[in-house]
Amino acid sequence: MSMLPQDLPTIHLTIGQWSKLEPRHFFRSTDGSPADFPTMVSLMADDQFLHVKFECGRDAFVHENHMTQHNEPLYNQEVFELFIAGGEADPAEYLEFEINPNNATWLGKITNPGLGEGAFNGELVSYEIGGVQHEAMKGVDSWSGGFSIPRALVPGGWQGQYRLNFYRIVSTKSHPNEDWVCGDDCEFLCWSTTMSGAEPAFHRPRRFGYLTITY
């Protein structure tokens, strides 16, 4: 039996049963400090899909997100994200999925040979081919949604073991211009912190957590 690193979070799913992700707050990507933006996530797997439900709390500026087209650079504003790959090893290839409060999505397959050191490339997956089922709803100062990722899309094949991470970008100030881009006025949050240092970074697959699926 393999031993998983103790400092990386792990979630175990039984086919057909929902489980809540712990902890229920995310951490800053830069230094791993906890952030006061409640982010609740639940997961369930079946033979075809990984299903994810999420709630993003304390979002005062949720109605200032303006991107509505699939595969736009949604990551420039507020998003909820999943990176996932099959197997236990640090993945050099993984799937990236993003959804924003307007129910627009971004889907791509990432090649990251340096595992976070050096350049990485993304190949967009068309909305029609991807087949991800999804929804998103805005609240007064929050937003929520869900999505179902076809397991056949995930690099590394059909597995009982996956590496994955969840991310959230949240704005901390008002943006009067529709084409605003997140910078120092946003928080970049992770389920498993990437500990990227001075600058936030999500593409650090050595820091992905672990998902085990059993029957």
pLDDT digits (tens, 9 = 90+) for 158-198: 779 999 999 999 999 999 999 999 999 999 999 999 999 99
The pLDDT tens digits of the residues spanning 132-154 come to: 999 999 999 999 999 999 999 99
- Count CA atoms within 13 Å of residue 12 on its CB side: 3
- Cβ count within 10 A of residue 172: 14
Domains defined for the chain, CATH in brackets:
10-214 (2.60.40.1190)
116: helix, coil or strand? coil
126: helix, coil or strand? coil
- Cβ count within 10 A of residue 195: 17
**Rg, Å, the chain Cα set:** 16
Going residue by residue through the chain (215 aa), what tens digit of pLDDT does each one get?
344 445 899 999 999 999 999 888 899 999 999 999 999 999 999 999 999 999 999 999 999 999 999 999 999 999 999 999 999 999 999 999 999 999 999 999 999 999 999 999 999 999 999 999 999 999 999 999 999 999 999 999 777 999 999 999 999 999 999 999 999 999 999 999 999 999 999 999 999 999 999 99
Q: Where are the alpha helices (DSSP H) in the chain?
A: 127-130
Strands 79-86 and 143-150, bridge-based pairing: unpaired
CA distance linking residue 70 with residue 182, whole number of Å: 19
